[in-house]
Structure 1
Amino acid sequence: MTFAAIVLAGGRAVRMDGADKASVEYAGRSLLEHAIGALRDAHEVVVVGDPVPTTRPVTFCREEPRFGGPVAALLTGYDALARRPATVGVLAVDMPRVTPSTFRRLHEAADGRDGAFLTDAEGRRQLAGVLAADRLDGVRPDPGAQHGMSMRALLAGLDLALLAPAGAEGRDVDTWADLRDL
C-alpha cells in the first residue's frame, strides 16, 4: 500500500494574531516538524503553506486563491503529489501530539471503509485522518466549489471510522493558550 500525506499549514491563524503556525515552536521543534515527523511512514509529504526549512524533503505548494480553506488546501496538496497513492493522509499543522503510531491506528481503523479520522476528547472530528485515494477522487467537487467548502461537506457521503485519541493526540493549537496548555 502506498501512503502519501498532505499537511495543511496555510491558514490565517486569526486567534494567534496571524502567526505562522508552521514556525511556532512546541517542545523545541516547530509545529511543522512535529507534523512531518508524524508522517514518517508516508512515501511523500506535501505541505500546503509557505515554504520554510525542514529536516525532511517535502513539496510546498499553495492553493489559489490563498486561504481557500481546508478542502481547497487538501485538494491542492493532492494534485501536487508526484505519485498517486492508495491512501492519502491529511494533518493540520497545529496538532503536535499526533505521531506515526496515530497514523498506523488510523490506517487500521480505515480497513474496509473509505477512511478514518481522529477525534478530540469530546468526539469531534479533527483534521488528522486517512482517506482511500479513489474515494477522495469520487467526492471531489468542481474547482469553483472547493474554495471555502468545509471538510465536513466534502466528506459527508463517505463511510469514515472515528478514532478516539490516545492521550492528548487529538488536541490542536488554535490559540496561544492552547499552546501553553499542551
Structure 2
Amino acid sequence: MSLDSFAAIVLAGGRGSRLGGADKASIEVDGRTLLAHALEAVVDAAEVVVVGTQVPTDRPVTFVREDPAYGGPVAGLLTGRDALFGSFATVAVLAVDMPRVTTTTIRRLRDAAEGRDGAALTDPGGHRQLALVLRTAGLDAARPPLEEQHGASLHSLLAPLDLAAVPAHDREHRDVDSWTDLRDLADPGPE
C-alpha cells in the first residue's frame, strides 16, 4: 500500500443529541472549533471531504451530506468515499469530535496500516475509536448494498478487514458526545 498520498474523510454530520442538538463541528475546544481541530489533524491529506453541514474553513475541502441525512457513521463514511475526486490507495477517517487527534496520530495510523487493510486508534480498553486509516480497496470490498448502509454498524463494516490496533497516547481517544465529555476533555487531570 502506498502511503505517500492519501485522502481524508471527516465525519461531522451527527445529530449531537446528547449535546441538546448542538452542531458538534462548531463547538470550541482550546479556542478553536472541533472542525478546525479535525482539519488540522488531516492537514497532510491531498484531498479532504467533510460529511456535514457546510461552514467556512481555512482550507479547501469538499462538503457533502449523506442521503438520507443522519444515516450514521457507515453512511457518512461511504458518502465521503463517493465524494472523493481523486483516486487514493488510503483514506484517513476521523470523527469531528476527537480534538486530541493530531497529525502525529494520523501518521502513526498510516505507518501501522502498512501491509494491512488499515489501522484503528484504540482506547485504553482496546476498543476501536473513529480515527482510522483504511486501504480504499478493502473499504470498497466491504461496502454493503446502498439499502443496508443507513444505520449500519461500523463494527460490522470493518469486521472483515485486517486492521492494526494503534493504542492512543494520552487523550487522543477522547471524544465529545456530551457536555460532561467536553468539560472532562478540558480538565488536565489524570485519565
Does the pair score TM above 0.5?
A: yes
Once residues 120 and 71 of structure 2 are traced to their aligned partners in structure 1, the CA distance between those partners, rounded to angstroms, is: 21
**RMSD value over aligned CA atoms?**
0.7
Q: Secondary structure at the match of 1:169?
A: coil
**Counterparts of 1:55 and 1:28 in 2: how far apart (Å)?**
15
Q: Which residue of 2 aligns with 1:101?
A: 104
TM-score with structure 1 setting the length: 0.98
TM-score (norm 2): 0.94
1:135 maps to which of 112, 117, 138: 138
Task: State whether structure 2 residue 172 is matched by structure 1 residue 169.
Answer: yes
Shift of 1:112: 1.0
- Work out whether 1:48 is the aligned partner of 2:59: no
What pairs up with 1:103-118 in 2 under 5 angstroms?
103-118=106-121
| Alignment of 1:38 onto 2:55 | no
Pairwise CA distance, 1:137: 1.0
Aligned residue in 1 for 2:181: 178
Which of 74, 97, 120 matches 2:77?
74
Distance, in Å, in 1 between the alignment partners of 2:150 and 2:137 is 21
Structure 1, unpaired ranges of 5+: none
Distance across 1 between alignment mates of 2:126 and 2:176: 17
Task: Kindly tell me the number of residue pairs found equivalent between the two proteins.
Answer: 182
Distance in 2, matches of 1:108 and 1:169, equals 17
Task: Provide the residue aligned with 2:189 in structure 1.
Answer: none
SS at 1:74's partner residue?
A: helix
- CA deviations on 1:17-47 (whole Å, 9 max, x unpaired) are 1100000000000000000000011001100
Q: Which runs of 4+ in 1 moved over 4 A?
A: none
Counterparts of 1:177 and 1:148 in 2: how far apart (Å)?
26
AA of the residue aligned to 2:32: R
Runs of 5+ unmatched residues, structure 2: 186-191
Pairwise CA distance, 1:103: 0.6
Task: Confirm whether residue 119 of structure 1 aligns to residue 122 of structure 2.
Answer: yes
C-alpha deviation, 1:111, in angstroms: 1.1
Following the alignment from structure 1 to structure 2, what is the Cα–Cα distance between the partners of residues 128 and 66?
Answer: 21
Q: CA deviation at 1:59?
A: 0.4
In percent, how many aligned pairs have the same letter?
Answer: 64
Counterpart amino acid of residue 59 in structure 2: R
